[in-house]
Structure 1
Amino acid sequence: MDTRLPFVPGILVLLGLVVMSLTLAMGFGAAELGFANIWQCMTNTCERSIYQTILLDVRLPRVLMGFLAGFALAAAGALMQNVTRNPLADPYLFGIVAGAALGATLSGLLPEQFQAFSLPFAAFLGALFAVFIVITVLMHNNWRRIEHLLLAGVAVSFLLSAISSFILYFGEAFAANRVIFWMMGSLARADYQSLSYVAPVVLISCVLALVFSRQLDALLLSDESARTLGVNVDKVRLVALVVCAAMTAVVVSYCGGIAFVGLMIPHIVRPFFGITTAKLLLSAGLIGGCFLVWVDVVARTIVTGQEIPIGVITSVIGSVFFLFLMRRM
């Protein structure tokens, strides 16, 4: 039975879901605010100034960051699975989280006078470093073998994680705890400045992916079939992998490790919107954004007075989903 939805009506429904999720999510938190107060503040008529501070300066950037992070990870996962033709592919296969963790570790343990680079920027450089290692190793050796790409990512991830653990073991306790909490994933650092860094990277990456969407669709058949259609397979695959790496790296840099979003969401979306790149990327991104917004709501409300790292929650959900997926396959 064909369960696919018409693309345009389906996207409109998803956009409505996005607006509803972003609005409702702002009502949850340590301070109890009614949705009437949310509407008043959104129309610049806040009943009390503290409401405006809570909603517009604290919750709104956090909700927007959650949506952007979920969108980027889900879109990158959909792109990665199409490019590698592997349904178990995930944006973290490059060792991006391990590379970002290494950058964050080095940034946090440097002497104060050398900490001109913030933790997010150092984490971004570390994530790109991991991608650079993987691609450099494969460019001159079995670049066309997809399974080698996956194995190289796993190997780099273990290597960089070992280096990070070694540094943290001998490092200062407070700095080590800060890095460890960041590695679990959190939106607590979200503000408008971080949004100004994350949003352009995600937007440009998505535009690039859509520009190459027809060539990427040809890769779904096979490399040989794509070449017969005039597609430069190596160039298109390299562009797609760099796009995935950039989106994942910038999210990890500001939000820490948030696993399994890129694995789960494309599988949930694919039966309803198909496998073509443009449709899958946009629909997976919108649903992934809503998903992470509500995961963050659970993370900051499920335990009174405390916040659970969102990476812990996505890992629990994702591991169960992964085992279910493996059993079906």
Structure 2
Amino acid sequence: MTVSAETAARVQLARPVRVSLWVIGLAVLVLSVSAAVALGTVSIPLRMVWGIIVHQVAPDWVVPDWSTGRAAIVWDIRLPRALLAVLVGAGLAMVGAVLQSVTRNPLADPHLLGISSGSACGAVLALLHTGLFLGLATVPLMAFFGALVATGLVLSVVRFTNASGADRLVLTGVAVSFIVMALANVLIFLGDPRASHTAVFWMLGGLGLAQWNHLIYPLVVLVLAGGWFVLMAERLNAMTIGDETAATLGVPVGRFRLEVFVMAALVTGVMVAFSGIIGFVGLMIPHIVRLFVGGDNARVIPMSALFGAIFLVWADIVARVIVRPEDMPIGIVTGLIGGVFFIWLLRRKRA
């Protein structure tokens, strides 16, 4: 067998594996969402969960044999929360995969680069000082604006200090993150003490404020940005090799990196607007995905979205169940898991 034939055979074998991985992943996601709706302070059987969902979609198909209270728990509280976890987890993981490619740094994620901190600062400014002057869209727009400002600060500091290396970019992002978080704390200190608990939500992260009419914003941003990222997969692959190689292949390196950062800020800003700061999802998930599908961003980006959604759904389940009936902020759960993963990743890279 020739080398080309061997390569073709490997591709033919790999494609069914990838399809199987997608089928299994989607099945796990559906089961995870079902478990997230069923588990909690009041446990609800899975049969009843799906009966309530089907009855809400097609009332004539199912005869209700449950109380209105349980129907409200499933449809009005837990299902929107689980779907928000899906959207936020998918968005953050996808952004992490893209940032790791465009910066050529395996430790890059929206939290470490200061984008999440900028989003939270913008959201706190809207909640405690400016008010909802644009209606429900005020917080997402202000969060996006804060993410853009933080991204601009990172790029400006990199240019000012001539920090050309990708590792310096991440260090600059960490420094800017501390500065922006300090500014957010000042805004909380100067704001109305009676509303400070709302701002603390953005600092710790949580999905308890999920509502059906809010889900359209992260959904639209996730679909549009995810589609653009996948279309740019070849350019992202070229960027992982190096700026000079990417430029040789026709990629406008400076402009493309700026475009990626703006799109990453958009996704992160909208996700943080509805969930608060949730760290380390964008750091962990792309590394796990690459173990299964390799380094091609055309596969890594959508698979990261799937794995990120599953991970955050289960992180939310743990946050709701571990100290029931209270809800632990989900940022604590992801921070504990992500911190251990970060140490393992550093050890692995050193080895």
Q: CA deviation at 1:140?
A: 8.0
Seen in structure 2, the aligned counterparts of structure 1 residues 166 and 39 have a Cα distance that, compared at 3 Å, is: closer
Q: CA deviation at 1:157?
A: 1.5
> Following the alignment from structure 2 to structure 1, what is the Cα–Cα distance between the partners of residues 53 and 133?
41
Deviations 1:224-260 (A, max 9, x none): 2222222222233222222222211111111001011
Seen in structure 2, the aligned counterparts of structure 1 residues 34 and 322 have a Cα distance that, compared at 3 Å, is: same
Instruction: Tell me what 1:168 maps to.
Output: 188
Contact 2:230 2:302 in 1 (8 A): no
Seen in structure 2, the aligned counterparts of structure 1 residues 184 and 113 have a Cα distance that, compared at 3 Å, is: closer
1:189 aligns with one of 191, 199, 209: 209
> Following the alignment from structure 1 to structure 2, what is the Cα–Cα distance between the partners of residues 76 and 167?
27
1:207 aligns with one of 227, 231, 237: 227
Tell me: higher relative CO, structure 1 or 2? Use CA pairs within 8 A at least 6 residues apart.
1
Q: After TM superposition, list the pairs within 5 Å mapping 1:175-324 onto structure 2.
A: 175-324=195-344
Contact 1:216 1:236 in 2 (8 A): no
Q: CA deviation at 1:77?
A: 0.8
Instruction: Tell me what 1:91 maps to.
Output: 110
Aligned pair 1:35/2:46, yes or no? yes
Contact 1:127 1:249 in 2 (8 A): yes
Q: Tell me, which stretches of 5 or more residues in structure 1 are unaligned?
A: none
The amino acid across from 2:166 in the alignment is I
Contact 2:205 2:276 in 1 (8 A): yes
Q: CA deviation at 1:39?
A: 2.3
Instruction: Tell me what 2:65 maps to.
Output: 47
Contact 1:37 1:51 in 2 (8 A): no
Seen in structure 2, the aligned counterparts of structure 1 residues 219 and 31 have a Cα distance that, compared at 3 Å, is: same
Q: Tell me, which stretches of 5 or more residues in structure 2 are unaligned?
A: 1-9, 56-61
Aligned pair 1:58/2:69, yes or no? no
The amino acid across from 1:68 in the alignment is L
Kindly, what percent of the aligned residue pairs are identical? 39
Q: TM-score, normalised by structure 2?
A: 0.85
> Following the alignment from structure 2 to structure 1, what is the Cα–Cα distance between the partners of residues 237 and 225?
17
SS of corresponding position for 2:215:
helix
Seen in structure 2, the aligned counterparts of structure 1 residues 190 and 131 have a Cα distance that, compared at 3 Å, is: same
Could you say what the CA RMSD is over the residues aligned between the two structures, in angstroms? 2.5
> Following the alignment from structure 1 to structure 2, what is the Cα–Cα distance between the partners of residues 276 and 152?
27
Contact 2:114 2:176 in 1 (8 A): yes
